[in-house]
């Protein structure tokens, strides 16, 4: 009853606003394409908030859009190429609707800057990940002529509030705790496009998370390129674990996940303290990148194979039912077959639940791109194929170990596989499909695992 009344009221207010608001914004629709890592997903939460406040509404149909935005990733060359192709493909739409604004934000925007406007004549707007809050004025300017953002070199958290973000699922939010990266791994473009590490002050963060909890958020994912150094730039000691400990006390927040950990900066003390926290996710994503010491040194990763394996041992010892996942790069410049074999043997030793595996992609401006001894694409792809084969067998075997276990899952959505199924994830971030209905979305359920396929599990509601 209350629901339908407020609906009418809103409709009424909207009719009035239509009369008074200029036609400019009221009916405008945006389509947002998001690529890359979780940082971009979290930035997209903010972009949606800003666009909604500007009077836009979201659409998923290109032909309906007045604004098409890309939030982009620059980490590998083919990601960049695909983006260029996608923007070029919008030419005909732009011809049909010259008022359409097309914008590229995110890491490709920051990497290519105004050059992109020259390269892509159909483009109206380029900006970087640290310019998002200037979107309203950029959009106004872009309606008149092509514009670029300021390409701010440093991340910041200026005025970010819980009511300024729009969540795809109202019970789950991504929370950036540290932006940028100062590690300069030799292959990686992220420090160049995102700037140096900048942490959000702890009191601000805790207020933000409490506010999210008050708005019905049950699960948060804390984000950073290296969450383990959270607060170092602000002079905090063991900042990350202390933050987790304080979030544990926020009622309303039931689960806390975090991403990404850096093996060099994860201490045994931190692992032990995390083991005491009941709300904190049991998925440790520990990107190893390579298995041979010489390659790790050239990559500037700051740990040896032995030190990495020791950390895995500590994690498996202290965290019950942990799932360990990783990122791996094959074919770094000068990597020999023998060194690649060391990556394979490490994968077999650790037995990751799953892994993101890539072949090395040279990024102009990074140290590795300038190195001698680049491998051919064929060699790199061949190594990647062999690695994927080994890991797939392990993923299947590790998933099969879940059969018979009863796990708690937070239901995310209706499952892709059929009408009466839903999909959720457990605290170890494993995806579980089971029979259920849409009213379960956003609730916690106990599920017994009955079947395993690679990373995805199927189960039965208890």
Cβ within 8 Å of residue 164, ≥6 positions away: 46, 49, 50, 53
Nearer to ligand F3S, 231 or 287 (CB): 287
| Smallest distance from ligand F3S to CB 422, Å | 29
Q: Which of 33, 37, 245, 314 binds ligand F3S (CB under 6 A)?
A: 37
191 binds, among ligand SAH, ligand SF4, ligand F3S, none (CB under 5 to 8 A by kind): ligand SF4
**Which residues 352-381 are close enough to bind ligand F3S by CB under 6 A?**
none
Q: Which residues bind ligand SF4 (CB under 6 A)?
A: 181, 183-185, 188, 190-191, 225-226, 262
The stretch among 32-40, 45-53, 229-237, 383-391 that binds ligand F3S (CB under 6 A) is 32-40
Nearer to ligand SAH, 36 or 149 (CB): 36
Task: Give the residue closest to ligand F3S by C-beta.
Answer: 36
Determine if 409 is a binding residue for ligand F3S (CB under 6 A): no
Nearer to ligand SF4, 238 or 265 (CB): 265
Nearer to ligand SAH, 103 or 281 (CB): 281
Nearer to ligand F3S, 188 or 312 (CB): 188
Nearer to ligand SAH, 31 or 312 (CB): 312
Alpha carbon distances (Å) from 256 to 166, 173, 261: 19, 10, 14
Q: Closest by alpha carbon to 52, among 128, 136, 174, 147?
A: 136
- Type and span of the H or E element at 140: helix 135-142
- Type and span of the H or E element at 67: strand 67-72
Q: Closest by alpha carbon to 257, among 180, 307, 322, 181?
A: 322
74 binds, among ligand F3S, ligand SF4, ligand SAH, none (CB under 5 to 8 A by kind): ligand F3S
Cβ within 8 Å of residue 138, ≥6 positions away: 103, 125, 127, 131, 147, 149
Rg (CA), the chain: 23
**Which residues 39-68 are close enough to bind ligand F3S by CB under 6 A?**
39-40
Q: Which of 42, 74, 354, 366 binds ligand F3S (CB under 6 A)?
A: 74
**Which residues 103-142 are close enough to bind ligand F3S by CB under 6 A?**
106-107
40 binds, among ligand F3S, ligand SAH, ligand SF4, none (CB under 5 to 8 A by kind): ligand F3S
**Which residues 162-221 are close enough to bind ligand F3S by CB under 6 A?**
189-190, 193-194
Q: Which residues bind ligand SAH (CB under 6 A)?
A: 75-76, 187-188, 190, 225-226, 260, 262, 287, 289, 327, 329, 358, 360-361, 363
Q: How far apart are CA 435 and CA 429, in angstroms?
A: 19
Task: Provide the 10 A C-beta neighbour count for residue 254.
Answer: 18
Through-space distance between the first and last CA atoms of the chain, rounded to whole angstroms: 33
Cβ within 8 Å of residue 181, ≥6 positions away: 188, 190, 191, 194, 196, 197, 225, 226
Q: How far apart are CA 107 and CA 51, in angstroms?
A: 20
Continuous H helices in 368-440: 377-400
Cβ within 8 Å of residue 80, ≥6 positions away: 72, 73, 74, 108, 111
Q: Which of 51, 73, 186, 428 binds ligand F3S (CB under 6 A)?
A: 73
Nearer to ligand SF4, 164 or 191 (CB): 191
| Smallest distance from ligand SAH to CB 158, Å | 23
């Amino acid at each position: 009853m209350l629901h339908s009344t407020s609906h009418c009221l809103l409709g009424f207010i909207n009719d009035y606003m239509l009369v008074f608001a200029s036609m400019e914004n009221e009916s405008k629709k945006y389509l947002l394409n998001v690529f890359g890592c979780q940082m971009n997903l979290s930035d997209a939460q903010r972009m949606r908030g800003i666009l909604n406040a500007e009077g836009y509404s979201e659409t998923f149909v290109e032909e309906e859009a007045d604004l098409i935005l890309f939030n982009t990733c620059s980490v590998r060359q083919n990601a960049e190429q695909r983006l260029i192709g996608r923007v070029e493909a919008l030419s005909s739409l732009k011809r049909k609707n010259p008022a359409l604004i097309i914008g590229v934000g995110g890491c490709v925007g920051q990497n290519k800057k105004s050059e992109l406007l020259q390269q892509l004549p159909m483009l109206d707007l380029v900006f970087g990940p640290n310019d998002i809050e200037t979107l309203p004025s950029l959009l106004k300017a872009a309606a008149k002529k092509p514009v670029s953002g300021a390409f701010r070199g440093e991340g910041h958290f200026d005025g970010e509030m819980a009511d300024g973000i729009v969540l795809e699922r109202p019970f789950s939010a991504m929370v950036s705790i540290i932006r940028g990266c100062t590690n300069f791994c030799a292959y990686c473009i992220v420090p160049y496009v995102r700037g140096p590490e900048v942490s959000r002050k702890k009191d601000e963060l805790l207020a933000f998370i409490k506010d999210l909890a008050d708005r019905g958020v049950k699960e948060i994912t804390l984000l950073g390129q290296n969450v383990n150094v959270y607060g170092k730039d602000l002079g905090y000691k063991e900042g990350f674990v202390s933050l987790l400990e304080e979030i544990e006390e926020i009622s309303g927040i039931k689960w806390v996940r975090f991403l990404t950990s850096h093996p060099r900066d994860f201490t045994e003390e931190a692992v032990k303290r995390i083991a005491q926290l009941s709300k904190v996710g049991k998925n440790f994503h520990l990107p190893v990148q390579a298995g041979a010491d010489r390659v790790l040194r050239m990559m500037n990763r700051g740990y040896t194979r032995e030190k990495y394996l020791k950390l895995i041992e500590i994690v498996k010892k202290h965290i019950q039912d942990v799932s360990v996942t990783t990122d791996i790069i094959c074919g770094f410049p000068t990597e020999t077959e023998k060194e690649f074999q060391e990556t394979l043997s490490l994968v077999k030793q650790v037995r990751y639940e799953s892994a993101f595996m890539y072949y090395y992609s040279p990024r102009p401006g990074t140290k590795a791109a300038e190195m001698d001894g680049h491998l051919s694409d064929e060699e790199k792809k061949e190594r990647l194929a062999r690695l994927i084969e080994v890991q797939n067998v392990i993923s299947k075997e590790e998933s099969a170990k879940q059969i018979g276990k009863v796990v708690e899952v937070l239901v995310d959505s209706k499952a892709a596989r059929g009408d009466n199924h839903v999909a959720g994830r457990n605290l170890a971030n494993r995806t579980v499909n089971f029979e259920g209905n849409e009213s379960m979305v956003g609730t916690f359920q106990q599920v017994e695992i009955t079947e395993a396929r690679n990373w995805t599990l199927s189960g039965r509601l208890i």
